Amino acid sequence: MQKNKDFAGDKDAQLEPALVQEFVRFSHFNFDTVKKMVESTPELVTASWDWGGGDFETGLGAASHVGNKKIALYLLEQGARPDIFTSAMLGQLDAVKSLIDSFPYLKDCKGPHGLSLIHHAEKGGDEAKTVLEYLKIL
């Protein structure tokens, strides 16, 4: 697997919106389809879909808010941009603490669909228990 892929595609060409929407939708639950789509169109790993009203979601965001670690880790390995919501779901306490220490307002920041950091940590299960405990005392 290639990490931090350098996307050297045509910078003037946009991805087909229907393709991006489909990718984000499958990123919630279908690893095999996500993998095939990324192999075919690597730029999808950083693409985001606007569900309306400023509710933007990437494939990584989709996998993160439903707790799909397999898809999230795969997308990160392929060059997806990590964020505090993914870190919360994956149980990365040091990363979450560091970001909140630097930007305290992030504790109340909402992710895709208005979902909280606590929601993401809950979806992370046992591996994210320390993050969940930390967020609950803020």
Q: Is the pLDDT of residue 3 over 60?
A: no
Amino acid identity, residue 14?
Answer: Q
110 Cβ partners below 8 Å, 6+ apart? 116
- How confident is the model over 35-51, as pLDDT tens digits? 999 999 999 999 999 99
Mean pLDDT for the stretch of residues 21-35: 99
Mean pLDDT for the stretch of residues 2-27: 81
pLDDT for the residue numbered 13: 85
- How confident is the model over 74-108, as pLDDT tens digits? 999 999 999 999 999 999 999 999 999 999 999 99
Identify which of 79, 133, 78, 135 has the alpha carbon closest to the alpha carbon of residue 111.
135
- How confident is the model over 100-119, as pLDDT tens digits? 999 999 999 999 999 999 99
- Which domains does the chain possess? 17-137 (1.25.40)
Q: Is the pLDDT of residue 2 over 70?
A: no
Which 3-state string (H, E, C) describes the chain? CCCCCCCCCCCCCCCCHHHHHHHHHHCCCCHHHHHHHHHHCHHHHHCEEECCCCCEEEHHHHHHHCCCHHHHHHHHHCCCCCCHHHHHHHCCHHHHHHHHHHCHHHHHCCCHHHCCHHHHHHHCHHHHHHHHHHHHHC
